Structure 1
Amino acid sequence: MPAAPIHTSNKVRLLSLDVFRGLTIAAMTLVNNPGDWGHIYTPLEHSEWNGCTPTDLIFPFFLFMVGVSIVYAMESKKTNGANQGSIILTALRRTIILMLITWATQLLLRWNFDLAHLRLPGVLPRIALVYFICTVLYLKTSEQTRDWVFAAALIGYYLLMTFVPVPGVGYANLEPETNLGAWIDRTILTPDHLWKSSRTWDPEGLLGTLPALGTGLFGMRVGTWLKRKDRDESVKVSWMFTYGIIAVIIALFWDLFFPINKALWTSSFVLYTGGLATIGLAICYWLIDVQGKKRFTYPFVVFGANAITAYVLSGIMPHYLYMIKIGGKNFYQLLFEPYFSPVNASLVAAIFIVILLWLIMWVLYLRKIFIKI
């Protein structure tokens, strides 16, 4: 989940992870806040269904970093024999708080407190569930067992989605409203608590948590590799590139019969995005933590150090900013729409939101205010 900065056991900051997290937060804010949803550059949109755009990488990169962060946060506690029950209870508390933040944010933006139509799944609930399950697995199982769980999650999900007949449909399929995951969500959560644009399926549904767990475990595997003290840094980076490339190649092959799809969080999507995240983190790690090139990192560290706050504000702040009107026009219509082409005005407005959010995070950073859960 978006989290506080991670430190190694000897208190040396893993700066590359903070930068990677901050860069992801900035990208998320950019794609979620265009000035005009009708005018967006294609790379800044989600895929309509199958496929993967740069925007589709943001959410899985967060989950990947959940896994990496757990290793750095939990390793010393696990090694020193800390009370694992207490750690699990803390993880459960954080999970519940993340879910409550999601639901409270929805109510805050609506101001009608319509609990009967409150969307229960979502980005933070999925991050919370993956975080909790990964924490338990890290504390209670071996690395080999986690590798088996990873494989079982991806293969098991593939078999469920492509071979199990869907009640009321009669055959397995990967269409938005008639796949097995959509049926489970409508049956358990009911349509009133699903994604508001359709009420027939949800891109963060229950069954999709299974492969999303695989994304967290992918990051945990990479974090475990990074923490090894018996390997030279260049060897670590080389193997991270190798793992990443192999994962992408397998994903592209699997895509032929189980398409890369963010909404379904297909197994091929897990490998494709996990491979790219591994390559991205390897680049950051080599440049920043190994080569010591840190001059460009500050803006991203500001975002990464208060990621959960930035995440929440990125959804709330623009909503209320657009409500402020002068002469019947909001800031987008006054400052950007008259001076740029429609698609560029939309992009510049999104960049403006990113800068504004960064300034808020900068003030918190300067005052050493780090909001944690």
Structure 2
Amino acid sequence: MADQPGSTPRLRSLDALRGFDMLWITGLADLFLQLAKVTQFPRLEAFAVQLEHVEWDGLRVYDLIFPLFMFLSGVAVPYALGKKRERGDSRGALLAGVWKRVLILVLLGIVYNGGLQLKFESQRYASVLGQIGVAYGIAASIFLITSTWRARAIWCGGILVTIAGLQLLFPVPGHGAGVLTPDGIVNAWLDRLLLPGRLHGGVFDPEGILCAFSAAALTLGGVLTGEHVKDSGPPSHMTAARLLVAGTCLLFAGWLCWKFGYPPIKSAWTTTFNLLAGGIALWLFTAFHLFIDFRPQSKWSFPLEVIGMNSLTIYLTERVLSFPEISEFFFGGIAQWCGKWQEVVLIVGILVIEWLLLYFLWKKRAFLRV
């Protein structure tokens, strides 16, 4: 979700990385998959495997798109809410605004999942937008009710430990403790117990109750990152070095958890998954920070920033508009002359049309935000 343009100093790297992240789910992943199919180039085929989710446990590149977005939503918090606190807005008013935003995202998620069809028994109530909203709400609330970076870090660690404890130690009825299977993990039991309607995974939901709570730790990790960068003043290599070290520590901790039998499971948002995703997100953010914020005159990131500043817009628009049909209308004639490259041309057309739409909105300073 884009921050309010002009309301606070923006980290261009934050918008660019958010745009880079969204680009993969709006067509870039499909482009690489199609290129691998057409060319049968071994390295492309190997990379194509990384552009599909793992079945349950493990970690691939495509599994990092959602957590990276959640991490970045946390990075924006100290800039948006911190500035409002500095100008004198009350904590109560800001908390009310945070949870209003949560409610809107949860409702948008239900609509995205077909809520307007009014098929309540088969309706899926958990959603990507709902998880983003709840995790943001928890992380932003912790940011507002605590006064120090250390206190927020303790909260973050507490969430990670709590999730690990529940997933490894809680005796799930009919299964026992530490059963990390789709139907035996504590996440699935809670989803079946408390979530109405349809579960996306049948016996569990990858955006279920505990997943949203666990994801709050990753979002809070983004808050800690954004706060550290903001408080450090102008971009400095020392700040970047600290972020890289922190990311390395998270990756090492995640590797240790995995090695000792507690795997990364995105669909259950295990603590191991949080640690590994957080470490990679920190590395990516630091790289973008170094190559963009350290070079204020650099223009190469502008196309990504256009996407990042209206990420919610393109996510929702893709659900409403058929960009493949629009691409076929404009580029179908060209594509039919391209032989085996026909699908590649049409996917490139989708990316071009989506970007031009977002650029038009950017020129009009029209940003969808909640």
Question: Do both share a fold (TM > 0.5)?
Answer: yes
Show CA shifts across 1:268-306 (max 9, x none). Answer: 111111111111111111111112352211111111111
1:4-19 map, 5 Å: 4=3, 11-19=8-16
| Cα drift, residue 331 of structure 1 | 9.6
1:202 matched residue in structure 2: 205
Show CA shifts across 1:88-108 (max 9, x none). Answer: 111111111111111122227
Please give the TM-score of this superposition, normalised by the length of structure 1: 0.86
Of 113, 124, 128, the match for 1:123: 128
Residues 304/188 of structure 1: CA separation in 2 closer, same or farther (3 Å cut): same
Distance in 2 between residues matched to 1:18 and 1:95, nearest whole Å: 21
Supply the AA of the counterpart residue of 1:99.
V
Partner of 1:20, secondary structure, is helix
2:2 matched residue in structure 1: 3
Residues 351/194 of structure 1: CA separation in 2 closer, same or farther (3 Å cut): farther
Show CA shifts across 1:29-49 (max 9, x none). Answer: 12686799xx79312111111
Residues 189/32 of structure 1: CA separation in 2 closer, same or farther (3 Å cut): farther
Residues 163/351 of structure 1: CA separation in 2 closer, same or farther (3 Å cut): farther
Residues 222/177 of structure 1: CA separation in 2 closer, same or farther (3 Å cut): same
Distance in 1 between residues matched to 2:62 and 2:199, nearest whole Å: 22
Is the aligned partner of 1:175 residue 2:190? no
1:124-273 map, 5 Å: 124-141=129-146, 142-190=148-196, 192-195=197-200, 198-229=201-232, 233-256=236-259, 257-273=261-277
Distance in 2 between residues matched to 1:160 and 1:31, nearest whole Å: 37
Supply the AA of the counterpart residue of 2:10.
R
| Cα drift, residue 185 of structure 1 | 0.4
Residues 182/79 of structure 1: CA separation in 2 closer, same or farther (3 Å cut): same
2:101 matched residue in structure 1: 94
Distance in 2 between residues matched to 1:139 and 1:202, nearest whole Å: 30
| Cα drift, residue 123 of structure 1 | 0.7
1:309 matched residue in structure 2: 313
| Cα drift, residue 338 of structure 1 | 9.1
Of 45, 48, 59, the match for 1:52: 59
Partner of 1:175, secondary structure, is coil
Of 72, 77, 81, the match for 2:84: 77
Residues 372/160 of structure 1: CA separation in 2 closer, same or farther (3 Å cut): same
Supply the AA of the counterpart residue of 2:270.
T
2:42 matched residue in structure 1: none
Contact 2:70 2:132 in 1 (8 A): yes
Distance in 1 between residues matched to 2:189 and 2:368, nearest whole Å: 38
Distance in 1 between residues matched to 2:327 and 2:291, nearest whole Å: 45
Contact 1:212 1:265 in 2 (8 A): yes
Residues 369/332 of structure 1: CA separation in 2 closer, same or farther (3 Å cut): closer
1:366 matched residue in structure 2: 363
Contact 2:235 2:294 in 1 (8 A): no
Partner of 1:184, secondary structure, is helix
Residues 358/232 of structure 1: CA separation in 2 closer, same or farther (3 Å cut): closer
Supply the AA of the counterpart residue of 2:218.
T
Partner of 1:255, secondary structure, is helix
2:41 matched residue in structure 1: none
| Cα drift, residue 12 of structure 1 | 3.8
Contact 1:5 1:304 in 2 (8 A): no
| Cα drift, residue 247 of structure 1 | 1.0
1:357 matched residue in structure 2: 354
| Cα drift, residue 251 of structure 1 | 0.9
Distance in 2 between residues matched to 1:25 and 1:325, nearest whole Å: 19
Distance in 2 between residues matched to 1:337 and 1:45, nearest whole Å: 28
Contact 1:6 1:18 in 2 (8 A): no
Supply the AA of the counterpart residue of 2:143.
Y
Supply the AA of the counterpart residue of 1:17.
L
Partner of 1:369, secondary structure, is coil
Contact 2:243 2:286 in 1 (8 A): yes
Distance in 2 between residues matched to 1:239 and 1:199, nearest whole Å: 42
Supply the AA of the counterpart residue of 2:3.
A
Supply the AA of the counterpart residue of 1:279.
W
Residues 48/234 of structure 1: CA separation in 2 closer, same or farther (3 Å cut): same
Show CA shifts across 1:142-200 (max 9, x none). Answer: 3222111111111111111112121122343111122111011011114x3311xx421
Partner of 2:353, secondary structure, is helix
- Structure 1 stretches lacking a partner, 5+ long: none
Is the aligned partner of 1:300 residue 2:304? yes
Distance in 2 between residues matched to 1:348 and 1:148, nearest whole Å: 50
Contact 2:167 2:177 in 1 (8 A): no
Contact 2:327 2:350 in 1 (8 A): no
Of residues 165-174 and 17-26 in structure 1, the stretch that sits farther from structure 2 once superposed is 165-174
Q: C-alpha root-mean-square deviation of aligned residues, in Å? A: 2.9
- Structure 2 stretches lacking a partner, 5+ long: 38-44
